[in-house]
């Protein structure tokens, strides 16, 4: 993104933000509530039109309606829409089916359900799950979809330490496959492999290798 600016009425939320996330790199946005972390993610996802500047993914302007953009970007910015008649396992199967064929270089079928603990409630409907279980399912769904850019808004939400460690490990693998990730998170476990950008400041705190 180059000189991104976003405002609501007379209030400027993001002003002149320039940021590049390269393949294989994770960047975590930090800052107090209301500083604009979710706003930035929504602009990159094509869900919010900035008032100034440009946002590009893979060199192309963001177009949420474009097939190429949808293949490249996977986002978990708000709770997904659940299908009441489908179990957790069937939600994951639907993701795999909608994105078939899934190459051998991606997470294997069923791998994410096992590693995020979804196997333990796979036959339950999302409406009957706890908030932490729904978050695990949502994360499995977004990672089960092949992509080159991952957008996550507080992926650690409702997770215990074991769940956060699982997310961190999966995020590292995603980056190791050449994907790029932009997330809003204050959790040091999740962001351990990411460069950190404090919104409102013009400096970067690079993560330790």
Q: Omega before 139 cis (within 30°)?
A: no
From CA 96, how far away is CA 28, in angstroms rounded? 27
pTM for this predicted structure: 0.92
Q: What per-residue confidence (pLDDT) applies to 9?
A: 75
Query: Does the structure show a pLDDT above 50 at 208?
Result: no
| For range 185-193, the mean pLDDT | 95
**Residue 201 reports pLDDT greater than 60:** no
12 membership: H or E segment, kind and range: strand 11-17
pLDDT (tens digit per residue) in 149-173: 999 999 999 999 999 999 999 999 9
Query: Could you tell me if 197 and 19 are in contact, meaning their C-beta atoms sit under 8 angstroms apart?
Result: yes
Closest by CA to 135, choosing from 157, 115, 120, is 157
Instruction: Tell me the per-residue pLDDT of 93-113, one tens digit each, with 9 for 90 and over.
Output: 999 999 999 999 999 999 999
Mean pLDDT of 183-187: 96
131: left (phi over 0), alpha (psi -120 to 50) or beta: alpha
CATH code: domain of residue 62: 3.40.50.300
**pLDDT value at position 204?**
41
Q: Residue 89: what pLDDT?
A: 97
Q: pLDDT tens, 56-95?
A: 998 889 988 888 899 999 999 998 989 989 999 999 999 9
Q: Please report, rounded to a whole number, the percentage of residues in the chain having pLDDT higher than 70.
A: 96
Confidence of residue 209 (pLDDT cuts 50, 70, 90): very low
Give yes or no for residue 203 having a pLDDT over 80: no
Task: Output DSSP code: residue 111.
Answer: H
For residue 189, is pLDDT > 90?
yes
Residue 116, CA distances (Å) to 90, 136, 159 in order: 16, 6, 10
Residues 114-120, mean pLDDT to the nearest whole number:
97
Q: Is 70 exceeded by the pLDDT of residue 202?
A: no
Tokens of 68: 């190429």
Boundaries of domain holding 94 = 2-205
In the chain, how many domains are there?
1
Distances (CA, A) of 169 to 101, 158, 165: 25, 17, 6
Contact by Cβ (8 Å): 77, 41: yes
């Amino acid at each position: 993104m180059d000189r991104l600016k976003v405002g609501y009425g007379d209030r400027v939320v993001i002003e002149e933000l320039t940021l590049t996330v390269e393949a294989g790199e994770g960047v975590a946005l930090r800052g107090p509530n209301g500083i604009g972390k979710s706003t930035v993610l929504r602009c990159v996802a094509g869900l919010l039109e900035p008032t100034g500047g440009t946002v590009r993914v893979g060199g192309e302007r963001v177009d949420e309606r474009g097939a190429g953009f949808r293949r490249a970007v996977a986002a978990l910015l708000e709770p997904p829409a659940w299908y009441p008649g489908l179990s957790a396992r069937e939600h994951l199967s639907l993701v795999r089916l909608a994105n078939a064929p899934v190459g051998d270089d991606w997470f294997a079928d069923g791998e994410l359900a096992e590693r995020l603990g979804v196997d333990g409630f796979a036959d339950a409907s999302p409406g009957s799950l706890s908030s932490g279980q729904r978050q695990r399912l949502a994360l499995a769904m977004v990672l089960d979809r092949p992509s080159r850019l991952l957008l996550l808004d507080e992926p650690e939400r409702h997770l215990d330490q074991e769940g956060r460690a699982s997310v961190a490990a999966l995020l590292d693998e995603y980056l190791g496959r050449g994907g790029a990730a932009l997330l809003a998170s204050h959790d040091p476990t999740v962001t351990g492999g990411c460069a950190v950008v404090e919104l409102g400041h013009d400096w970067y705190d690079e993560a330790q290798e």
